[in-house]
A and B are shown apart, each in its own frame.
Chain A
Amino acid sequence: MKRLLSYPRRIAAKLVGLAIALFARFITAVRADWQGIEPVNIQRVYYANHVSNADMPMIWSCLPPNIRRDVRPVAAADYWLKTRLRAFVGPEVFNCVLVDRRPEARAADHDPMQNILDALDEGSSLIIFPEGNRNMTDDPLLPFKAGLYNIGKARPDVDLVPTWIANVTEIMPKGEVIPLPLICTVTFGAPVKVEAGEDKDAFLARAAQALVALAPTDARL
């Protein structure tokens, strides 16, 4: 019975997902620029800069449908479980891997990294934001958290793909409600891997460098 009831919900999730992708395309004409990799469905961890809540839906929308089906964004449980609508959109439409950023809210034996590794072991690709928070500064990136290094070390076969998302701050600055229809480009770079013997800080610096290098040059004042 429960299985039967879940069908309308799954169809609703599909439709909402389609509507979000269409809306993103209509408003921002979001475009994927595959610079370092081909748009083929192999297991990858897309790690991206994070400036706005619209980042994840943008990356998700510009992926080809076959890749999108197998990709799971890693997202904050405290955000996506706050209301019933978010609890539907996050886990069911985007199929998010939820992790709790607040150590005090976690069960004592729960390791958020385990959820991520489980998703990888099931064969999913991931979208993660290694800065951990939205970047509100003028610097291109906040210092990366250790998560990306830990993933790369624990599952060394998976490509870590730098993914630069441009323009979203202007499309939807924090605190505004109407999105501006400006063109958004998502650039995918060449994958990086944790080298043998490379320590955490060196790897994170290299990964951040690979990501910033994808940012388009801006000739404006």
Chain B
Amino acid sequence: MTDTDTDILWLFIGVCGLLIVLSLFGEFLRAKGGEDNPVVETFNTRVSSWWAIVVLFTLALIAGKIGLLVLFAFASFAALREFLTMTNKRRADHLSLALGFFVVLPLQYVFIGFDWQALFTVFIPVYAFLMLPIVSALRGNAEKFLIRVAETQWGLMIAVFCMSHVPALMMIDFPGYPEERGVLLIAFLIMVVQFGDLLDFFFGRRIGRTRILPALSAKTWEGMICGVVSAAVIGGLLAWLTPFSVVEAMVMAALASVVGMFGNLVFAAIKNDRGVKDWSHLIPGQGGFVDHLDSVIFSAPVFYHLCVLYWT
């Protein structure tokens, strides 16, 4: 067993311990007369969904590079599917959308797998950006053309380009940080961002007073500040996973968490515009993949580029 595997095991044991506590707490609430209480039921479905996510993610971590690439390629696929279900499109876009799903998405992950940084950082923002509108335009329907191509490109940027920067983290060469530990950096990013969100929600409920965007989201400044501070603390505690010092890990965690929370607001605005509450119903109790991953999606490219700028 390598050091990395041992660390994955410790991480898994720690997270499982936390989930066991949450599951027992859920059962306790249920026993205390919450049999038909919708809040308790939502909490319990969410904890079950978390179990599934943690097991899936740990299996991918153990499988290493390929496992994580495949996992995130599927997450991209599910997120792109949710996003493009809500966008404007005409029959003329059929081919370009199919290319987005079945050519652009897999190629992006192949480029990341081969660590062709010069290609995966420009492939969607430059080549897909120019080529897919050409394919749409050649079909000759100009109705709402700019809106159609802009929404498609936005979907690809969010669901494929940004998401793919999570597995891209394991390709960065940090001095003095063994390559195979890259998978742990992914675990670090996801954990600080998701726990930040969770604690933002928790503190927002408890002490939240001032809503950031009253019309769009229940997020409050108080909750957000507590969430970011918690993310920084958790980041400091998890610094052993990363190539960073404790202080550096806290700063990176706080930054990722802040970007993620504002990303969450961006998605709230989009959902509000399209008149939906959730992106889909694929994850029981939590809506869709985009609902679940919006903060990670927003923070991943920023986190990636800061790592590349300061540590390599």
Contact = CB atoms under 8 A, between A and B. Distances in A.
Interface of A: 29, 31, 167, 170, 173, 176, 178, 180-183, 217, 219-221
B281 A182 contact: no
Given A29-B280, A170-B89, A176-B94, A183 B81 contact: yes
B52 to A, nearest CB: 16
Q: Which 7 A-B pairs have the closest CB atoms?
A: A219-B275, A183-B85, A178-B98, A182-B85, A173-B91, A219-B274, A181-B81
B100 to A, nearest CB: 9
B87 interface: yes
Which bracket fits the contact residues of B?
20 to 34
B82 interface: yes
A220 B94 contact: no
A167 B85 contact: yes
A180 B98 contact: yes
Nearest to A181: B81
Given A31-B281, A180-B94, 6 more contacts: A31-B280, A170-B89, A173-B91, A180-B98, A183-B280, A221-B88
B184 interface: no
Nearest to B78: A29
Contacts of B82: 183
B77 interface: yes
B102 interface: yes
A167 B86 CA distance: 10
A173 B94 CA distance: 8
A205 B241 CA distance: 65
Given A31-B281, A220-B274, A221-B144, A181 B101 contact: yes
A69 B101 CA distance: 33
Contact of B273 (A29, A182, A217, A219): A219
Contacts of B84: 180, 182
A217 B277 CA distance: 13
A176 B95 CA distance: 9
Interface in B265-310: 273-276, 280-282
A208 B64 CA distance: 54
Interface in B78-136: 78, 81-82, 84-89, 91, 94-95, 97-98, 101-102
B207 interface: no
Contacts of A178: 94-95, 98, 102
A220 B102 CA distance: 25
B88 A220 contact: yes
B87 A180 contact: no
Contacts of A31: 280-281
A178 B77 CA distance: 16
Nearest to A33: B281
Interface in B235-261: none
A29 to B, nearest CB: 6
Contacts of B275: 217, 219
B286 to A, nearest CB: 15
A63 B59 CA distance: 31
A31 B288 CA distance: 13
Contacts of A182: 81, 84-85
Contacts of B87: 220
A181 B86 CA distance: 12
Contacts of B95: 178
A190 to B, nearest CB: 21
A220 B93 CA distance: 16
B147 interface: yes
B280 A180 contact: no
A29 B81 contact: yes
B256 to A, nearest CB: 29
Nearest to A176: B94
Interface in B206-264: none
Contacts of B101: 180-181
A63 to B, nearest CB: 17
Nearest to A166: B85
B74 to A, nearest CB: 10
Nearest to B82: A183
20 contacts: A29-B81, A29-B282, A31-B280, A167-B85, A173-B94, A178-B94, A180-B97, A180-B98, A180-B101, A181-B77, A181-B81, A183-B85, A183-B280, A219-B275, A219-B276, A220-B86, A220-B87, A220-B88, A220-B274, A221-B147
